[in-house]
Amino acid sequence: MISGIKKRKGVIVITGEVGVGKTILIYALLKDLSEEMKTAFIFNPRVDFKNILENILRDLKAPIGEKGENLFSLLVHFRKYVNEKLTQGYTVAIVIDEAQSLDEEVLENLYRLATPDSPATHSLQILLVGHPEVELKLNSEKLRPYKDKISLHYHISPLTREESRDYINYRLNLVGQNISGIFTSQAVDRIWEYAGGIPRVMNLLCDRALRIGFRSSSQTINSRIVNQAIRDLGYLKPRKSKSFPRFLSQKKSRYRLLKILFLLFSVGIFFLSLSKMIDLLLRT
């Protein structure tokens, strides 16, 4: 993310599941960006483009008029600001969290801001960070012509089993502890398995397991304690592929369909027999 902005790649897209650490990365990015950067951070993008542009300008501390300015006036202020910062040697970076909440129209206008129609635009960097659902919008028919503007695209994967062990150990080291003295190997494996490598879920699960262990005066956190914590926090289960459940539902659907067809077939035979009986009675 830092490299893409410093090298002025243009539009950068970062995706990842809920709880994988995207927002933490953004705060680390904002902290580490050099003084040659002017940044605007938008964390609530559920507004129209005019409001987003106004928030960007205010976050950049750009000189604008009172509230109520129209979109054209805001665009003039923005272009003027970017031009001024270019001449001063600055890079302007717009960082948007929860980008999957942006409307397609807003995304289209953000792409247009990054259109290289002037030298100043080259100093403008746009970082979109969001859930994988943002891909659906970026691949839509309306936004497909702008797809080539994305210079860098990266997906943050969940932690592996070994990375998860290192992550838990790092958090324990911060308070002067070591993973081998607190969690059994089986407990750590169970935490990773349930959390699916999502740090936020691991944080909550470890915290719950430690509280349970404290109440029961346990010397270490074993898989039994972790399983109890999992039962307490069952609502945290990360999203997983539904291919197997879908297969089961298809079998159930086919079974229901066969039952319905059999029922219709039986009803058809009944009415056919009834019709013949009525016809026979009418003839007699």
State the CATH number of the domain containing residue 36: 3.40.50.300
pLDDT for res 263: 52
> Taking 90 as the threshold, does the pLDDT of residue 193 lie above it?
yes
Tell me which residue of 114, 118, 108, 185 sits closest to 142, measured CA to CA: 108
Average pLDDT of every residue of the chain: 83
The Cα 221–Cα 182 span in angstroms is: 6
**pTM for the predicted model, two decimal places:** 0.77
Q: How many helices (H) and strands (E) does the chain have?
A: 12, 5
> Taking 60 as the threshold, does the pLDDT of residue 79 lie above it?
yes
Residue 271 lies in a domain: no
- Compute the radius of gyration of the chain from its Cα atoms: 29
Residue 136 lies in a domain: yes
Do 171 and 88 share a domain, yes or no?
Answer: no
pLDDT for res 218: 94
pLDDT for res 281: 39
Do 204 and 119 share a domain, yes or no?
Answer: no
Do 18 and 151 share a domain, yes or no?
Answer: yes
Q: Report the percentage of the chain scoring pLDDT > 70.
A: 80
Structure confidence by residue, pLDDT tens digits, 6-44: 888 889 999 999 999 999 999 999 988 877 899 999 987
What is the domain extent for residue 105?
2-156
> Taking 60 as the threshold, does the pLDDT of residue 243 lie above it?
no
Q: How many domains does the chain have?
A: 2
Final residue in a domain of this structure, among 135, 156, 177: 156
